[in-house]
């Protein structure tokens, strides 16, 4: 319904490089994924975060947010897209 957002367990963040992304994901037990052909943007996934929720999650990614090498972090929100 309008105004209802669904959040997914995956997070993206902006870093300085792939090696740093992997080291951070190892420490925080996240899985790192490449986002298409975008450089310095990584997609993080943690099995302990609620898979799909109507509330923004405040789970294990808090460790990610606290890392000084992380410039920007955003939880994925499901968007309504329709075929035309």
Q: Binding residues for another protein, per CB under 8 A?
A: 2, 6, 8, 10, 12, 35-39, 41, 43, 52-53, 55-58, 62, 74, 76-84
**62-82 burial code (b ≥16 CB/10 A, e <16):** eebeeeeebeebebbeeeeee
Q: How far is the CB of 7 from another protein (least distance, A)?
A: 9
Q: How far is the CB of 5 from another protein (least distance, A)?
A: 11
Question: CA-CA distance, 5 to 75, in Å (whole number)?
Answer: 12
Question: CA-CA distance, 25 to 79, in Å (whole number)?
Answer: 26
**Cβ-based nearer residue to another protein, 22 or 59:** 59
Q: How far is the CB of 18 from another protein (least distance, A)?
A: 16
């Amino acid at each position: 319904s309008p105004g209802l957002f669904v959040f997914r367990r995956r997070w993206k963040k902006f870093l300085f490089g792939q090696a740093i992304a992997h080291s951070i994901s190892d420490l925080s037990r996240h899985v790192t994924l490449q986002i298409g052909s975008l450089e310095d943007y990584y997609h993080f996934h943690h099995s302990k975060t609620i898979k799909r929720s109507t509330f923004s999650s405040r789970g294990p990614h808090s460790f990610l947010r606290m890392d000084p090498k992380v410039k920007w972090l955003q939880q994925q929100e499901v968007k309504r897209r329709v075929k035309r």
